[in-house]
Structure 1
Amino acid sequence: MRKIYGLEVSAEMVTRITDKILPIAKEWQNRPLNELYPIIYLDGIVFNVNKDGQIVKKTAYVVFAVTIEGKKDILGIWIGEAESSKFWMGVLADLRNRGVKDLLICSVDGLKGFEEAIKASFPKAKIQKCVVHQIRNSTKFVSYKDRKAFCADMREIYTAANEEAGLAALDRFENKSGTKCYQELEGQLAIFINILQISS
């Protein structure tokens, strides 16, 4: 606090503040939820935390939703160790316990076992892998000088107005797959087909 804001805050003051905030945060975290959410985004954010004088990594598991009315809502934040599908299972169980019965679309990263964890709790949910994560993963195979053109070609796919336009953009993308910067990506194309099917 002193470095950032120029304020001196005693340990006692921090304790008093957290003692007041924690019950409110706990009540918020356990509040009842809607039975249905059209789309939710599930992601883990890794932070460095000072624990007993040592810096350790913690993951904040965040569930962000859009309601039927189009309102945005954070359904909860859970703190755990490194991101894992096993921890996500507990998060999804908590959503069920708080009243969620159905999710239409779940936007997630490519964490191994994540899709299976969602299907175990919400079998009818469609899974959409987050476009940002997929592009980031795909560009690992592309040289730096080719990335701008590559991302422009991919953008045509995921911003297409409908499935037909998206599949046409996908065909153009595939026709370039023989060139050096695209040859590593054949397995990635299925991801974009999935995105097109969900968004149409």
Structure 2
Amino acid sequence: MTPHQSALSTLITEVLGDPDTAGDILRRMLEAAMQDAINAEAAAHIGADRYERNQERTTTCNGTRPKTVATPAGELDLAIPKMRKGSFFPSLLNPRKRIDKALYAVICQAWIDGVSTRKVDEIVKALGNDHGISRSSVSWICKDLDEVVAEFTDRPLDHTWFPYLWLDATYLDVRYHGRVVSRALVVATGVSAQGRREILGMALGDAETADFWTEFLRSLRARGLAVSGPSNPLGVALVVSDAHSGLKAAVKAILPGASWQRCRVHFARNVTQKLGSRNSKPVNALIGTIFAQTDTASTLGQYRLVADSLTTSYPEITAMLDEAEADLTAFASFPREHWQKIWSNNPIERLNREIKRRADVVQVFPDDASVTRLIGAVLQEQHEEWQYGERRYLSESSMTGPTPGK
């Protein structure tokens, strides 16, 4: 008899002996049963039971991580096995369920408001509803999701410190005051002192104005995001973004202790816009040699060599490089092993592509609340995948000194 089967037998005996204690015991029975199922799936994933030796074993367990699951019977405290190689998350807990539910709610709301396209109608039918959806059903689904998403997007940020912060925006079509308009969705991600990525926040507004970015960054500060400074070095040390003027002004005002890294990929696009695709290729290749250096001194030296070499043939690019020198090379003041991860906005742009992929299913969101509902669920699931993934974005050992000059 396995330990969990033995535990279940004991709990059943307790219920039969004292029915008044059934409430908590039923919760414990469910907890034991789910833990048993998780362990069984982990054994199948590994290819062997615990302590069993055979040729089919592909990896071994490396301890567990706690996971609290809310159920109608109460909160269950489960242990998710960690693997020495690869990652594992039990299908029983279905990490994508919240996104599917959010997508369903958005489509239902669009259908009720009469703004659904043929594609949305087909999806509603594929979900098994050929006769329409009641407003009460949609209201119940949305209320449940809104509470979960709000708890995630409003959570405190003072549990650790975030030396690196990425900021970016994407645009979504939303029905607003009777018209379909393009709305700015801004997202912030960070890397914690433990080297793990986290979704820090999101907001929806009319456009990427300085006021909008300022309000968003203030909301992060209000939730506990620390700012680096002489009296508190454990705060945001570097912000990575494109060169949007409103964003830059907001960072300077709200995160005064942070350096700013201009995304090198966006700068390359600016060069292409200036010179055209044909002429920009060799120029961008030359600029790329700046980022191939292995230490701060050679990086700064190569920057000047590249800028000076373009003075005769492309003086406008030299002017761009002169103006952006401090911002394009801010990464060089941080640990060498972090450079490739912090000199561009690529990480958050990949997240934006996932947001757009989900949004394309809806096409036009019926209102702002539906954007928060679906995108908030997408971001929450991505956040949890980052937290439970075996690989850290940056090694924990390298995070001992992510401050300028280290």
- Aligned pairs for 1:1-200 (under 5 A) are 3=119, 6-8=123-125, 10-12=132-134, 13-34=137-158, 36-51=161-176, 54-102=179-227, 103-180=236-313, 182-189=314-321, 190-200=323-333
Higher strand share: 1
Counterpart residue type for residue 188 of structure 1: M
Residue 195 of structure 1 deviates from its aligned partner by 2.9
Q: Tell me if structure 2 keeps the 8 A contact 1:42–1:62.
A: yes
C-alpha distance after superposition, 1:107-143 (max 9, x if no partner): 1221214333223222211111122222212221113
Q: Which moved more, 1:43-52 or 1:5-14?
A: 5-14
Which ranges in structure 2 are unaligned for 5 or more consecutive residues?
Answer: 1-106, 108-117, 228-235, 334-406
Bigger RCO of structures 1 and 2 (CA < 8 A, at least 6 apart): 2
Measured against aligned partners, the alpha-carbon deviations of 1:51-96 in whole angstroms (never above 9, x if no partner) come to 4653201011100111111100110110111111111111111111
In structure 2, relative to structure 1, the CA distance for the partners of 1:64 and 1:159 (3 Å cut) is farther
The change in CA–CA distance for 1:159 and 1:55 in structure 2 (over 3 A counts) is farther
User: Partner amino acid for 2:320?
Assistant: Q
Give the AA of the match of 2:146.
L
Separation of aligned partners in 2, 1:139 and 1:145? 8
Partner Cα distance (1:36, 1:156) in 2: 33
Separation in structure 1 between the aligned mates of residue 280 and residue 138 of structure 2, nearest angstrom: 47
TM-score when scaled to structure 1? Answer: 0.86
CA deviation map 1:148-183 (0-9, x unaligned): 212211211134222222233323322431454x22
- C-alpha contact (below 8 Å) 1:162/1:196 kept by paired residues: no
Give the residue type in structure 2 aligned to 1:170. Answer: Y
Of the structure 1 ranges 76-85 and 53-62, higher mean CA displacement relative to structure 2 is found in: 53-62
Query: Matched residues, percent identical?
Result: 27
With normalisation by structure 2, the TM-score equals: 0.45
Q: Distance in 1 between matches of 2:324 and 2:291?
A: 10
SS of residue in 1 equivalent to 2:225: coil
Q: Which has the larger radius of gyration?
A: 2
Q: C-alpha distance in 2, partners of 1:179/1:44?
A: 36
2:271–2:284: 8 Å Cα contact kept in structure 1?
A: no
Q: Which moved more, 1:55-64 or 1:169-178?
A: 169-178
Q: Which runs of 5+ in 1 are unaligned?
A: none
Number of residue equivalences? 199
Distance (whole Å) between structure 1 residues aligned to residue 225 and residue 248 of structure 2: 18
Distance 2:164 2:173 in 1: 29
**Aligned 8 A contact 2:167 2:241 in 1:** yes
CA RMSD of superposed structures (Å):
2.3
8 Å CA contact 1:89–1:118 kept in 2: the answer is: yes
